[in-house]
Amino acid sequence: MEDIFHEEELRRLFGKFLQRDCSEGEIRKLMAYAGIDQLRPVWEELLEGVEVEGTAGELYALHQQPVDKVFSNLSFLTDELPQQQGSRGIFSISRYWWAAAAIFLLLASGTWFLMSRSQRQESAVAIVYDKAPGTDKALLTLADGRIVALDSIGKGQVVQGNTSIRQQGGLLRYSAGAHAVGFNTLSTPRGGQFRVVLPDGTAVWLNAATSLRYPTAFDGNERVVTLRGEAYFEVAKNAKPFRVQIDERTAVEVLGTHFNIHAYSDENQVSTTLLEGKVVMTKSDALLRRVVLNPGQQAVADKEQLLLSKQVNIDQVMAWKNGMFNFEGMDLPSVLRQLARWYDVEIVYEGKIPTRKFGGEMQRDLSLQQVLRILERMDVKCRIENGNRLIVM
């Protein structure tokens, strides 16, 4: 029923868009709908039926203010296209206004189409692959095996025994009774992120390609969850210890604190970074089996050892949670692994891996083509093939 509502709302907004009657908020809502895979057939149907006459300048003039607000930072739409002499405005080029806007709307679904008019004849110029940034989406596996798909616009409630689970957009919130009925697993795909408030009030932010397994109520003498990937924890204070099990030999134990765990299977190291409180990281097969962290410190475990670092770039560790990439001091493979998880692409090296260190930050809400343009300025040349393969040339 909810899908039908969204389809009808998309059709309504698209109709207003073609009538040049969209507000800034409605254009942003169209952009959000472009990211929903289930609506892709509707988008294709709507775009096939578009016939609009008039120069871009004429169409742009009809609703300049809301369009400027939405697209003012999207210089990639026009920075490689010639401007007409004496014209002004971000769409003051001889192109259909709807097509320029549709470029951005279709970024979220993986492909954008650029249409050009040569004098009086209309012809398709190119199809360029792109990838939209990640969004709030996850899968919730319930104790009975049922799987619930979650996204940024969903809302609803699930009841398991004495436990109530409520979704509000990108947040999942538990309220538990006295007895656990089993374990749930929240999993984000590549290109997804999500947030959950556990039955004890602990808040957890999950990065892309991450899974968190937890009981629907903490009944025992300790609170234990299992993590694969990366997550930031704000643990609710409680007399029961809180433990994050990373693998069979590595764990993090706390009482009440804020910390980040980075534990992806395609990385050589597992790290725990403490922002507030105190935690203990353990690794049963290391020579140093136990490390106590104070705020601003980081414990790093690899296959053989467990080390404590007192010099940590907290901004870099927390960049993902704050909507940023921070590549300070990273090599190219490390940078590309982050991009692969967030944009859900496969990295393929055509030749020798370029050797260089990176620095600086960029927003995680950029399209992949925008990111590649930034990398190109640093002499890293890439192309996208088939919508999901990033070729490093």
Average pLDDT of span 100-122: 35
Quick one: pLDDT at residue 26? 74
What DSSP element (H or E) covers 15? helix 2-18
Q: Which range among 187-201, 299-313, 351-365 has the greatest average pLDDT?
A: 187-201
End-to-end Cα distance, the chain: 46
Quick one: pLDDT at residue 151? 86
Name residues whose C-beta falls within 8 Å of residue 339's C-beta, 6 or more positions apart in sequence. Answer: 325, 345, 347, 368, 371, 390
Task: Report the CATH fold assignment for 323-392.
Answer: Phage tail protein beta-alpha-beta fold (3.55.50)
Q: How far is residue 227's CA from residue 213's CA, in Å, rounded to a whole number? A: 7
Residue, of 122 and 27, whose pLDDT is higher: 27
According to DSSP, the β-strands at 346-349 and 389-392 are: parallel
Q: How far is residue 263's CA from residue 302's CA, in Å, rounded to a whole number? A: 10
pLDDT at residue 321 tops 60: yes
- Res. 157 pLDDT band, cuts 50 70 90: confident
pLDDT at residue 60 tops 60: no
**DSSP secondary structure code for residue 170 in this structure:** T
On whether the CB atoms of residues 308 and 271 are closer than 8 A, the answer is no
Phi, psi for residue 57 in degrees, rounded to 5: -60, -40
Quick one: pLDDT at residue 304? 83
Quick one: pLDDT at residue 86? 37
CATH 2.60.120.1440 fits 135-316, yes or no: yes
On whether the CB atoms of residues 385 and 129 are closer than 8 A, the answer is yes
* Portions of the chain given CATH number 2.60.120.1440: 135-316
Q: How far is residue 127's CA from residue 148's CA, in Å, rounded to a whole number? A: 35
- How many Cβ atoms sit within 10 Å of the Cβ of residue 390? 22
- Res. 72 pLDDT band, cuts 50 70 90: very low
pLDDT at residue 344 tops 80: yes
On whether the CB atoms of residues 282 and 246 are closer than 8 A, the answer is no
Q: How far is residue 37's CA from residue 110's CA, in Å, rounded to a whole number? A: 10
On whether the CB atoms of residues 365 and 133 are closer than 8 A, the answer is yes
What does the pLDDT look like over 255-267, one tens digit per residue? 789 999 999 999 9
Q: How far is residue 34's CA from residue 38's CA, in Å, rounded to a whole number? A: 10
- CA–chain centroid gap for 103, Å, is 20
* Portions of the chain given CATH number 3.55.50.30: 323-392
Quick one: pLDDT at residue 179? 67
Q: Give this prediction's pTM.
A: 0.68
Size of the chain, expressed as the number of residues it contains:
393
Strand partners, 385: 389
Average pLDDT of span 293-305: 91
Name residues whose C-beta falls within 8 Å of residue 384's C-beta, 6 or more positions apart in sequence. Answer: 129, 130, 131, 345, 368, 369, 372, 390, 391
